[in-house]
Amino acid sequence: MHFSFSVMASEQQLSAIKGSKVLMVGAGGIGCELLKTLALSGFPDIHIIDMDTIEVSNLNRQFLFRQSHVGQSKAKVARDAVLKFRPDINITPYHANVKDPDFNTARRHVNRLCLAAGVPLVESGTTGFLGQVTVHVKGRTECYECQPKPAPKTYPVCTITSTPSKFVHCVVWAKDLLFAKLFGDRNQENDLNVHSKDGSSSSKQAEDVFERQKEENIEQYGKRIYDHVFGYNIELALSNEETWRNRNKPRPIYVKDVFSSELASQNGNLDKSSNGDPPSLSAMASLGLKNPQDLWTLKENSKVFLEALKLFFSKREKEIGNLSFDKDDQLAVEFVTAAANIRASSFGIPLHSLFEAKGIAGNIVHAVATTNAVIAGLIVIEAIKVLQHDIKNYRMTYCLEHPSRKMLLMPVEPFEPNKSCYVCSETPLDLEINTHCSKLRDVVDKIVKAKLGMNFPLIMHGSALLYEVGDDLEEDEVANYAANLEKVLSELPSPVTGGTILTVEDLQQELKCSINIKHREEFDEEKEPDGMILSGWTQPRAAEKNGKTAVDSEVSTSSASEAVPLETEDDDDLQIIPTITGKKRKLSDISNETKNKRKAEELDSKNDVVMLDDENSDMSKKKREQ
C-alpha cells in the first residue's frame, strides 16, 4: 500500500499539481528522495537530467539504485525504479550534461535559463546534517546569483611548501604538488624544489631530480624521490634559521632511517595487486594492509609510498604525464595518504588513516540520507506554493545540525531581488583595465567567460560588433572576430578606451549586461594578477581577521594572492554565509509600482517548475534570520 498525498491535499493543491510540469536537475542523493516524493505527491509529468552514472559509493543512500545498476545512467535507472510503483505518471530521463561538470557553473546556467523563460526555480543542497531549500522567482525573489558565493578554501603556497602546521596542509602538498609533479604534466609550474644536493655544476643544477635516469630501476627511483622530498628538501628548509625561530623544527626522513638494512628491492608483491583495471590496483593489497581506518606507522606509510609509486610506473606507465588526482582512484589515494603522513611525521603533525585522508583530499562531507529526505519534502512543499502562486508563504528553509530557538528547521522569508545584481537587475558593471596593453581575448577569457559565465558571448561597442561566436557564422566573420581577439582594446576597429560602454550578451542564456570601461595604467601583479578589476559582480567573499584568513564554522574563505586550492569535487561543502547587515525588506513591503510591474510577469498556465538539487554541493547560501 503506497502513501497517497491526495488524502491530505486540498482540491486547489491537487489541481495545481495535476497541471504541472517539473524539470529535476540531478538524480543523486536528494534527487532519489525528490523523485519518489514528487511521484507519490501526484506530479504527473517529471523530466530528469543527470550526466552521472551510478557508483558503488552511491548505494548507501541513493535508494533507487542497486548493485546491478553500477555503471548505468542515474536518470534512467531512477525513472525505471519509480515507474514500478507509480506506472501511471510520465517520467522522461536525460543522461546529459546540463552545463558543465562544475555544478556551481551549472547552477548559474540553470538560474539564467529560468530567468529568461520566466520559470520558477526551487534550488537545494545538503552537506551532512545541514541543508537548505530556496525559491527563486523572476522579479519576486532574489535569483541564485544575487548574493556572493564563497570561494573554495585555499592555502598560501609558502605554508604548503615550507611551514605546514595541519594535516590538511600535508594532504594539499601531497596531492597538488608531489602527485602532480610525479604523475601529471611535468611542464606545468610546480613549487617543489627539483634540484638535488649533488648539483654542484650549473649543468647538474639545472637537472630535474624527478626525471628518472636511464640506468635506474623503479625501486632505486622511488627511494631517490623519497630521500629528496622527505630528506634533502627538509634539510634545505632547516638551513633558513629565521623561519624556525618561533616554530618547531621538522626532522628530515631518509629511507635508511625508516628501514633497516634488510629492506630488499621487493617492497611488496606486485602480483597481488596486478589484477583488474588500473584504478583497482592497490598498494595496500600488495602489502597485506586491509583496514582503511587503521593508522599506519611511519614504516607502513613509507612502504605504501614506495609500493604505490612502483605500481604507477610498472602497471600504469602509459598514464604517467596525464594523471590528475581522483578520489575514486584507489592507488592515487594510497599514494597521497602515505606521502601526507610521512610529511606530517616530519613536521610533528598527527598522522591520519586512509579513510580520513581521502575525505580531506576529496573534500568529502559524508552524506546523511535523512537530511536528503527532509530537504526533498521541503522542495515539494515550496513547489506546490509556487504552483499556487502563493508568494506570501514562500520560504527559504534551512535544516540545521543543532537546534536554534528549539528548531531544527528554520524558515526564512525570501528576499527581493538584489538591485545591484547584473543577472536579474541588469545593473552595469565597471571594468578597470589598461586599454593600451590588454587584448580583447583577455576580456573574453578572464571576464566574460570566467567571471560572468557566458557560453556564447556577443560583444558590441555601440553598433559595432567586436566579437561573436556561433555555428551559423560565415568563414570571413569567424576570421574577423578571431583577428579582433588578438588586438589591443584601443586598436580595435571601434576603439575601446576609458569611458567606453561595452554591451555583452549571451543569446543562449538570454543574458545581457553593460560594462563601463575605466582605463588604468598599472596593476599590482600579486594582488591583481589578472591585470584588470571587475566591479559590480557577485565575486566570492573572503573573510579575514588580523590579516589572516579566517574560517567560520560553515564559511569557506580564500586567502590572498598566490595560493593552492583544496578543490571541491563530487562531494563539496554546503556553505552558509553569515547574516548580511542592513535593513531587510520583506516581500510584503515592496512598493506598489514594483507590484504592478510583477503583475505583468505572472506565471503562465503551463505551471512549469525547475528543481535544482545537489547533495554535498558547493552551494553557498545565506543563513539570514528574521
Identity at 60, one-letter amino acid code = N
158 catalytic residue (yes or no): yes
What pLDDT, in 10s, does the model give residues 44-83?
Answer: 999 999 988 998 888 888 999 999 999 999 999 999 999 9
**What's the pLDDT at 256?**
92
What pLDDT, in 10s, does the model give residues 354-378?
Answer: 999 998 888 777 788 999 999 999 9
Q: Please say whether the beta carbons of 129 and 616 come within 8 A.
A: no
What pLDDT, in 10s, does the model give residues 111-127?
Answer: 888 888 888 999 998 88
Binding-site annotation: residue ranges for Zn(2+)? 143, 146, 421, 424
DSSP β-bridge partners for residue 516: 430, 501
**What's the pLDDT at 606?**
45
- C-alpha 268/C-alpha 285 separation (Å) is 9
Q: Where are the beta strands (DSSP E) in 11-138?
A: 21-25, 45-49, 90-94, 121-127, 130-136
* Rounded average pLDDT over 255-282: 60
Nine-digit cell at 378? 521541503
- C-alpha 205/C-alpha 220 separation (Å) is 20
pLDDT band at residue 212 under the 50/70/90 scheme: confident
* Rounded average pLDDT over 158-167: 89
Least confident window among 87-101, 506-520, 534-548? 534-548
pLDDT band at residue 280 under the 50/70/90 scheme: low
Look at residue 316 and tell me whether its pLDDT is greater than 80. yes
Nine-digit cell at 568? 571541491
pLDDT band at residue 200 under the 50/70/90 scheme: very low
**What's the pLDDT at 597?**
36
Least confident window among 30-44, 151-165, 459-473, 608-622? 608-622
- C-alpha 136/C-alpha 477 separation (Å) is 39
Domains recognised in the chain with CATH numbers: 16-149+367-420+587-625 (3.40.50.720), 165-348 (1.10.10.520), 428-535 (3.10.290.20)
- 94-110 residues labelled b (16+ CB within 10 A) or e (exposed): bbeebbeeebbebbbbb
Identity at 484, one-letter amino acid code = N
Q: Which DSSP helix (H) or strand (E) runs through 433? A: strand 429-433
pLDDT band at residue 405 under the 50/70/90 scheme: confident
- The catalytic position among 114, 158, 399, 437 is 158
* Rounded average pLDDT over 22-43: 93
For residue 400, how far is the Cα from the chain centroid? 22
Look at residue 578 and tell me whether its pLDDT is greater than 50. no
What pLDDT, in 10s, does the model give residues 541-576?
Answer: 333 333 332 222 222 222 222 343 333 333 332 322
Binding-site annotation: residue ranges? 26-31, 50, 58-61, 74, 143, 146, 421, 424
Least confident window among 212-216, 298-302, 449-453, 547-551? 547-551
- C-alpha 619/C-alpha 622 separation (Å) is 10
Q: Which residue has cell 594539499?
A: 172
pLDDT band at residue 615 under the 50/70/90 scheme: low
Q: Please say whether the beta carbons of 72 and 80 come within 8 A.
A: no
Identity at 284, one-letter amino acid code = M
**What's the pLDDT at 204?**
43
What pLDDT, in 10s, does the model give residues 455-484?
Answer: 889 999 998 999 998 878 888 888 999 999
**What's the pLDDT at 599?**
36
Binding-site annotation: residue ranges for ATP? 26-31, 50, 58-61, 74
- C-alpha 216/C-alpha 196 separation (Å) is 16
In terms of average pLDDT, the best of 157-166, 244-253, 581-590, 611-620 is 244-253
